[in-house]
Amino acid sequence: MKADIAKQGSDPEGLTQIFDAQVMHGCKVTPGLAINMDTFRKKTPLLLGLFVFLDDLNQNLVMKKLFSFALMALALASCRKKALPENPVSNTPIDSVGAGTMKVSFHNKVDSQDLVLNRTEPYTAPDGDEYSVRTFNYYISNVVFVDASGNRFAEKESYHLVRAEEPSSLSFSISQMPSGNYVAMEFLIGVDSARNVSGAQTGDLSPDYGMFWTWKTGYIMAKMEGTLQSNGFPLIYHIAGFSKPYYGIRKVTLPLSTNAIVANNKETNVQLNANLNTWFAAPGFPGFSAVGIITSTSPTSSAIADNYVQMFTIASVKNP
């Protein structure tokens, strides 16, 4: 049989070595027949011829079986190489587990009233002073949603300028958000320190929106401009700064009033109220008459930032 393999000009999958290994270990390729071969040869040429025929036939059958077993072994080895990792979920793209869209909207208010720019009827501050509003802007950045298991999903390139004068800026959508049951939302009021020192930028971080002082002092995190009703004096509050001791960046953490369920190819809506009057609460804010204009960092600007961390509340959650 070994000679027959050599005559074919090839030895697929090392079958010659397999045959040699069987002989070396005393494995009889043709059990029974090999034991009686010499006796049959002595008795008669006819029986010898019959034996040779049967022996060759038997060897061919065994050869075919060996070849089949070798192919099966290779197939099984190939299958093992392609086995899935022990924890395939960690490498699974978001699309394959389901991804939806989270729309975040902002509703600007002064206590229970809707904020309307340049409204004739004034608003009332916590200390009783009346005022009107001409400009109301603030940055929302580094948005994170936390699910029921504590997993955190952070929006990429998360910088949004909300401007009361521009309705399209009052909402933004986060696409490709993993499906899940979300219980809380986190974000910064303002722009993180890294982006404050990153040079000229585009999009909502463009200096063209008037929310940037200088490369040294950075972005205005939140801005309110208006008029004091009693005397017509201007009210200007530009809250900025990205380094201590006086800085305007504040972190907000909000448990969702209802769990936000993100489903595959569906849109979930979370609406927040932003109450301007929280800026002017005592004891941090001394009153319009005492401080009507802030255009640099100061203890009062930092006190207003401490106040506006309370500005946001969850108004509603609408699941698909």
Q: Looking at residue 198, what is its pLDDT?
A: 85
Comparison of pLDDT for 93 and 277, the residue scoring more: 277
Interval 135-154: pLDDT, tens: 999 999 999 999 999 999 99
Q: With 60 as the cut, is the pLDDT of residue 33 above it?
A: no
- Residue 30 CA to chain centroid, in angstroms? 65
Per-residue model confidence as pLDDT tens digits over 98-128? 899 999 999 999 999 999 999 999 999 999 9
Residue recorded with tokens 């910088």: 159
Is the confidence at residue 91, as pLDDT, over 60? no
pLDDT band at 214 (very low <50, low <70, confident <90, very high): confident
Preceding peptide of 283 cis, ω within 30°: yes
The per-residue DSSP string of 114-161 comes to EP-TT-SSPEE-TTS-EEEEEEEEEEEEEEEEEETTS-EEEPTT-EEE
Which of 235-266 are b and which e, b meaning 16 or more Cβ less than 10 Å from the residue's Cβ?
bebbbbbbeeebbbbbebeeebeeebebeeee
What is the residue-averaged pLDDT of the chain? 80
| Per-residue confidence band for 97, with pLDDT thresholds at 50, 70 and 90 | low
According to the model, what pLDDT value does residue 173 have?
A: 98
pTM of the model: 0.70
Top-confidence residue, 177 or 70: 177
Model pLDDT for residues 271-312, shown as the tens digit of each residue: 999 999 999 999 999 999 999 999 999 999 999 999 999 999
Percent of the chain with pLDDT over 90: 66
Joined tokens for residue 156: 């990429």
52 pLDDT higher than 80: no
Give residue-wise pLDDT tens across range 183-206: 999 999 999 999 998 877 999 999
Looking at residues 146-163, what average pLDDT do you find? 97
Predicted confidence at residue 197, as pLDDT, reads: 87
